[in-house]
Amino acid sequence: MLAARYHAAGRPLSLDDVPVPQPGSDEVRVRVRAAGVCGTELHFTDGLYAPSRAPMTLGHEAAGTVDAVGSAVSGWAEGDRVAVYYYLFCGSCRWCLRGRQNLCLAPRGVLAFAADGAFAEQLVVPAHCLVRLPESVSFEAAAPLCCAGTTAVHALAEAAVGPGEVVVVLGTGGVGLAVVQEARRRGASVVAVSRDPGRRAAALTAGAVAAIPPEDAADAVARLSGGQGADAVVELAGVSATLELATGLLGRRGRLVLVGYSADQLTVSPLSLVVSEQRVLASVGSTLAELETAVALAVAGSLTPPVADVLPLSSVNEALDRLRAGDVAGRLVLLP
């Protein structure tokens, strides 16, 4: 089968012909019908961090159909439509038992990080990583739910964003646009911040009340909040400039939600946090239940991460180049 694999940082992914993976007794093989391209792929290809081994098939947003089931698997049959939860969690550690599979202490792998991922015709995962996908959600729409959609659901749940709040979204790529939709669904007024005009337009379509470049953010938040500051700032870039902007926008009891990261540092004065009871939260991925939630929201039509373009798997490096250029408004989706 064809797989787009990382061999080393700074090199394009290689389109390799690899053996079709065989599911173990508790595993399922999925025929990948659509795979979303996340900004995280660039962290690998550009060398921020390396997969646990090389070569490694990248991609952690997969939707498709069940292709083969292991001998001990029940409840799944060939042809079932599925979305894949990308943390291949153990199911028995203290965090899995608390429903926090994204913090699993002993995962079998994490797609693209430590297990072959979605940029391939087929993929093998433990059966408990599958979520049923109704016919009403296309594979192309479902793939971006698996990271972009679920990351939004988790981050805003962690921040307990509620009706009437002012939420700032710093960064309006695939995840950011999903955060805009989900914050709006929770009843918040959303200010989206981006340097790219196309992405600002997409943020308005996704439900932001204002979409502005960074230099206008403070004024927009002041206007919308009556000078009180933001109730939550979701930080998706994780670079010094946006981290500094984020802390400056927070109001009293404002929550800074760190989702993006880079090699840059977060610098914040305890005094400024303490006197306003501001909080710094971090959010990574999502729980398995939140993938089920994301699929249910997609069925209801209230979480539909925008798809910017659909390309064949063989165009994976073109997709990565476009993403790196920073002007893709929504997810690029590959069809293996």
13 touches Zn ion by CB under 5 A: no
Torsion of CA 329, 59, 138, 150, to 10 degrees: -70
Least distance to Zn ion from the beta carbon of 97, Å?
8
Figure out which of the listed residues 68, 104, 125, 246 binds Zn ion, where binding follows CB under 5 A: 104
Measuring CA to CA, which residue among 182, 134, 179, 149 is closest to residue 299? 134
232 near Zn ion, rule: CB under 5 A: no
Provide the 10 A C-beta neighbour count for residue 324.
13
How many residues touch Zn ion (CB under 5 A)? 8
Max Cα-Cα span within the chain: 61
Among 133, 116, 279, 304, which Cα is nearest to 206's?
304
Closer residue to Zn ion (CB): 251 or 305: 305
User: Of 1-9, 65-73, 96-104, 302-310, which part binds Zn ion (CB under 5 A)?
Assistant: 96-104
Query: Looking at beta carbons only, is 21 or 260 nearer to Zn ion?
Result: 260
Spell out, one character per residue from 75 to 94, where the chain touches Zn ion: x when CB under 5 A holds, - when not.
Answer: --------------xx--x-
Among 5, 40, 64, 109, binds Zn ion (CB under 5 A): 40
In the complex, what is the shortest distance from the CB of residue 86 to Zn ion, in angstroms, rounded to a whole number? 8
Q: Which is nearer to Zn ion, 83 or 147 (CB)?
A: 147
Answer yes or no: are the C-beta atoms of 41 and 323 closer than 8 Å: yes
104 versus 166: smaller Cβ distance to Zn ion: 104
Minimum Å gap between C-beta 90 and Zn ion is 4
At its nearest, how many Å lie between Zn ion and the CB of residue 226? 35
Residue 38 is encoded by which pair of tokens? 């996340």
Quick one: 93 or 311, whose CB is closer to Zn ion? Answer: 93
Q: Is the peptide bond before 21 cis (omega within 30 degrees of 0)?
A: no
Contacts of 5 (CB under 8 A, 6+ apart): 13, 14, 15, 16, 18, 55, 56, 57, 58, 119
Binding characters for Zn ion, 265-304, by CB under 5 A (x = yes) = ----------------------------------------
CB atoms within 10 A of CB 3: 29
Residue among 3 and 96 whose Cβ is closer to Zn ion:
96
Task: Answer yes or no whether residue 38 interacts with Zn ion by CB under 5 A.
Answer: yes
Is 236 among the residues that bind Zn ion (CB under 5 A)? Answer: no
Residue given tokens 């292991």 in the structure block: 70
- Residue 96 is a binding residue for Zn ion (CB under 5 A): yes
Q: How far apart are CB 79 and Zn ion at their closest, in Å?
A: 27
User: Which stretches of 2-84 are DSSP H helices?
Assistant: 40-45
For residues 120-143, one letter each, b for 16 or more C-beta atoms within 10 angstroms of the residue's C-beta and e for the rest, the string is bbbbbbbbbbbbebeeebbbbbbb
Residue 104 or 133: the one with the smaller Cβ distance to Zn ion is: 104
Beta carbons of 245 and 186 less than 8 angstroms apart:
no
Structure token digits, residue 224: 């919308």
The closest of 27, 88, 37, 85 to 58, measured between CA atoms, is 37
Examine residue 242 and tell whether it contacts Zn ion (CB under 5 A).
Answer: no
**31-39, 213-221, 223-231, 300-308 -> range binding Zn ion (CB under 5 A):** 31-39
Contact call for residues 318 and 197 (beta carbons, < 8 A): no
Site map 137..156 versus Zn ion, x via CB under 5 A: ----------x---------
* Interface positions with Zn ion (CB under 5 A): 38, 40, 89-90, 93, 96, 104, 147
